[in-house]
Structure 1
Amino acid sequence: MTESTTVTRRPGLARLRAWPHRHPVAADAVLTAVAALFVLTRGDRFEHLPGERPWWVLLAVLLVVPLVWRRRAPLLVFGWMAAVAAVQWFFARALVADAALLIALYSVAVHCGRKVALWALGVIEFGIAIAILKWAPPAGMLDAFVFLSGLATAAFVLGRNVRTRRAYLASLEDRARRAEHERDQQAQLAAAAERARIAREMHDIVAHNLSVMIALADGAAFAARGNPDEAETAARQVSDTGRQALGEMHRLLGVLRGGQETPRAPQPGIEQLDELVAQVRAAGLPVSLTVAGPAFPLSPTAQLAVYRLVQEALTNVLKHADSPEQAWVRLRYRDPVVEVEVGDDGHGRPMASAVDGHGLSGMAERAAMFDGQIEAGPRPGGGWRVHAELVSRRVAPA
């Protein structure tokens, strides 16, 4: 029979064991009532007090009743009971109710520190010693001391073990809570990073393709009267660009949906730079692509970063450059660095949105993923220049 089956078949026992922890005051009240009932009904068989019965009843009540507060004020309860026992030692004989001191010692051992608990054990041992010297017969002193000291030591050790076990369980619960909290934090950070990644992708796709479509549409409108064939070609390029943007949007939305099967297309990389440059040329901006240095393998993630950097930089040229005559893309391999440069020869400075918008911050984030850096600013001879470096040690070979 497994443990889970045992617990399932004995739910009443589990509830009974948990009841004292859920209702400590009520549990201590029941314990006190049982102890008082035993002392008052059976104690007269063991007590040998001179005088009237009410005196030993009063001492028994003063020893037993404080147990109700043993959890809330264990040290105070123990001190009170020790004081009552001292009065008893001066004026009476041993009582069955003295066993309540063992419960008080156990409570101190559970709820107080080690030094306080040892002090309480020392008080009990001292009380045992003087009680034996006064009340025990000479022939049985040693046996009585060993027996009573054993009871006191057992109460002390049991209390300390319970305290240690509770502290261990509390530490496990605290570690579990902290692990759960850290797991939630990691999940939130991962979700935020994924949202930022998708936002960058959305920005790059939408901004670039819309900029190209606007440039093509303007060119088609200009050429519609004088050159219908050229206008038709520009309109077809607008349509192709829109379909490409729509396809990439569907791919991203498929990732967001998660559970649905969507056609998977490879991510754009360095091999697609020629198509990107051709698309920008079709929008009316002459662009050249130059690759220098011995090429070395780059991971798909690194290639995507390079592609998006070039795409965003060319998009900014289309959107913000002032009458550029040409633009250029230069890709240089300098092991262990991949260098990307995009520039134009436009006049004046770009609009503020090109500098302070999300595009350049997204490029900086992509470069930072590969321990790289990015520089963007006006060229001395006019126009704008974006320069980025990616460190290849963060790039796994293909």
Structure 2
Amino acid sequence: MFGKIRAWSQRHPKLVDSLWLAPLVGLCVMTAISYTGRAPIGLGGYLALSAALLVPLFWRGSHPRVVFAIVSLISFFQWLAGVDAFPANAAVLVALYTVATRCVFRWALAACLVSEFGIFLALVQWDTVSLSTFFGCTVFVVTIWLTGLYANTRHRYLEGLEERAERAERERDHQARMAAAAERARIARELHDVVAHNVSVIIVQADGAGYAIDSDPEQARKAVQAISRTGREALAEMRRMVGVLREDGPGAADYTPQPGLAQLEELVHGSGLPVDLRVTGVPQELPEGEQLAVYRLVQEALTNTLKHGGPGARALVEMEYGMHELVVRVTDDGRGAAAPRSPDGHGLLGMRERVSMYGGAVQAAPRPGGGFEVLARLPVAA
């Protein structure tokens, strides 16, 4: 119940302020007709001065110190003009409570001292300065001030509880993600062991079938059947474990084959840059993993050109097939060394990791004449 009221009040702060001020506004209206001060200012002056004191209170939630300063100065000039205090001057106490509720202690203490000084000036104006009267007014002002301080302390305490609850929830989610990552890493290791074992069995059976295909066809047929059975088991096991690794991820149901060199031309044309692709030498068949590494390297290099090359930058992708290595070079004519670098970028590191898996190396640096170059060399198996 109280939580709903608090949430509603937070959504409608202006309306809540209006409801709190309604009794004071009503009191000012009821006393307007019968107002007769020592230095009469007339009904119009009374209403104008009351409005000048009450209207700023609608912004006391967002600007408590400014509102307190405004109503205090208006009350001070009212005292200088010899106009008696009236109900609207209670705006000083309302603003005092707001300062004590929303500001740090030094501002709250300063507002309390200003209010005490205002009480003293009012008593001097009324010629009722006495220790008992001043003490009674002081108790009233200090009570309002302490109530505001208590509300401030409670508000900060509740904020601290909410912050700790949010932090505990974030830590819990983080621990859950870490546990899930650790479990998936364990599953990945098990997947490696299972696939490695089954592939070893397949290799042994295939070698046996090759030796027995002429001398013992029946044994060769059994070996081929064992190869088929073992391959199906390995594929089923791999699908199960990969399905566990992929669940809850962005590609949980994505079984699209990974891109390779056949999709390189499509990548170049869809990069959003003017790019030329040149292939020299005799293309050779590469393992799918190595093709993926080359594809990701070109993709990351073109992405860097798009991000850092500047407007009008062009790129050139060159692939040179040699007898023993494949050379991949991606160059551009962008800003090169003058381009700002992202402090949290990991693209070049990812390139090196992918290429190093296949015994290759990557060099990435600005070109002397301008632009940037990414050069990768990957060995090609005979």
TM-score range, shorter chain: 0.5 to 0.7
**Corresponding residue SS for 1:225:** helix
CA distance in 2 between partners of 1:181 and 1:215 (Å): 51
**Corresponding residue SS for 1:75:** helix
Q: 1:212 and 1:86, CA in 2 relative to 1: closer, same or farther beyond 3 A?
A: same
The match for 2:170 is 181
Aligned partner of 1:96 among 73, 87, 92: 87
User: How far has the Cα of 1:32 moved from its partner?
Assistant: 3.7
CA distance in 2 between partners of 1:49 and 1:85 (Å): 15
| 1:7-22 paired onto structure 2 within 5 Å | 7=1, 15-16=4-5, 18-22=7-11
The match for 2:180 is 191
User: How far has the Cα of 1:191 moved from its partner?
Assistant: 1.6
Letter of the structure 2 residue corresponding to residue 216 of structure 1: Q
Q: Point out where structure 1 has 5 or more consecutive residues left out of the alignment.
A: 1-6, 8-12, 259-352, 358-398
The match for 2:28 is 39
The match for 2:305 is none
CA distance in 2 between partners of 1:123 and 1:157 (Å): 15
Aligned partner of 2:62 among 72, 91, 96: 72
Q: 1:71 and 1:249, CA in 2 relative to 1: closer, same or farther beyond 3 A?
A: closer
CA distance in 1 between partners of 2:112 and 2:185 (Å): 63
Q: 1:230 and 1:30, CA in 2 relative to 1: closer, same or farther beyond 3 A?
A: closer
User: How far has the Cα of 1:246 moved from its partner?
Assistant: 8.2
Letter of the structure 1 residue corresponding to residue 125 of structure 2: K
CA distance in 2 between partners of 1:136 and 1:46 (Å): 20
Letter of the structure 1 residue corresponding to residue 141 of structure 2: A
| 1:111-260 paired onto structure 2 within 5 Å | 111-137=102-128, 141-227=130-216, 231=220, 234=223
Greater CA radius of gyration, 1 or 2?
Answer: 1
**Corresponding residue SS for 1:71:** coil
Asked whether the equivalents of residues 32 and 47 of structure 2 are also in contact (C-alpha less than 8 Å), the reply is: no
Deviations 1:27-53 (A, max 9, x none): 223444542231121355575433333
Q: Percent identity among equivalent residues?
A: 41
Q: 1:47 and 1:124, CA in 2 relative to 1: closer, same or farther beyond 3 A?
A: farther
Q: Point out where structure 2 has 5 or more consecutive residues left out of the alignment.
A: 248-353, 359-382
CA distance in 1 between partners of 2:5 and 2:242 (Å): 54
Letter of the structure 2 residue corresponding to residue 185 of structure 1: H
Q: Does 1:57 align with 2:47?
A: yes
Letter of the structure 2 residue corresponding to residue 96 of structure 1: P
CA distance in 2 between partners of 1:148 and 1:183 (Å): 53
Q: Greater shift after overlay, 15-24 or 225-234? A: 225-234
Aligned residues: 249
User: How far has the Cα of 1:150 moved from its partner?
Assistant: 1.6
More RCO (CA 8 Å, sep 6+):
1
Letter of the structure 2 residue corresponding to residue 137 of structure 1: T
Asked whether the equivalents of residues 47 and 95 of structure 1 are also in contact (C-alpha less than 8 Å), the reply is: no
User: How far has the Cα of 1:161 moved from its partner?
Assistant: 1.3
The RMSD of aligned alpha carbons is 3.4
The match for 2:292 is none
Letter of the structure 2 residue corresponding to residue 163 of structure 1: N
CA distance in 2 between partners of 1:202 and 1:53 (Å): 89
Asked whether the equivalents of residues 195 and 234 of structure 2 are also in contact (C-alpha less than 8 Å), the reply is: yes
